[in-house]
A and B are shown apart, each in its own frame.
Chain A
């Protein structure tokens, strides 16, 4: 199909730095694959495991919408805007890096590793004032349905970003099926299977596989395991970047 990409988990870029064991869906750091640079405005999807008590030291960001989703454990975040926060599994964190922000991110737990997804989306507006937010989600609101966690609208559910993109988490049980309708004609849908096994349209995804589809109106998500956890990202396919 010309309107689909399917990346199996084992084909991702991988780097193990000891303190950080990371898988890159798209080219990042020393992993460079010209066929896997981005999916529209979605530029980074890193699947990170951070060793106990370690983390990312102070480093800068600018002009990027950065969404962090802890999967296991807790991260302690400190930034140049004066925020010191802990994000736990079940929370969502967003930063609009804009004109520039410095931050650090450490595994809060000294006795066990932490896992989180780090997602970067190109902004639709450059050089904005940096901002930070986090929310706590009710996991019951995503059982056999999609729970919105990111949108372009400050008044909508979840956190918001400077991009016409929507993120959802779903926890779909065996035998259940969901139809997702794409938000905008210009958008594509990118699905990252966090856990379990799912059939997305006619493609079977295993844990950590991804599929991206565009020029479509809807996507069918069907669980083929007892507990399938999925991240759905609805994102513009064309950017100026």
Chain B
């Protein structure tokens, strides 16, 4: 579904992405793991077209994304730090996005808006929201249009246990519908029962891209957290 070929991006001297080539297929739930500053978010932003790569290209459903914008209809993005117009209320924001993005006859998926209880605080201004509530808004917006591909950048960071459980349940549901889901997270334990593939990035390069069963076999560890720790240690020594 998404193919990235030799994507390179520099920010000044820093090589945020260094010759990244990846293939992400339909129905997978892929964990994007790596230390801070390893280029995970930059890679997601490249696919979204928010960051323009210096070289290399990305295709979505066999179409190059560089001159295309229609493909974003199929994407849902939950940013790591959601930044929204400060003087809008939650209700206005959601209505605006619906107004801009919805095309005729499309059903919106308000499940998260309701289960997070956002519809009760629709008149709160964005600037008055806590970090966690902001995350809830981001998550609701990402799932709102039933996208085929979901990018979740640190989805559960800042969410309370109840909300985080709701979100994980939702992710599981969407996975069952055969959607491609890309998650970055540092809390590996919660990815265990979600992901089917793991991409490990370091210093802007993809170190490996494996199925989770393969990873378990290679390292002999059942838990993802331990498996990754195993690999990181063996890399260092």
Physical interaction between A and B:
no
**Residues of chain A having any CB pair with chain B under 8 Å:** none
**Residues of chain B having any CB pair with chain A under 8 Å:** none
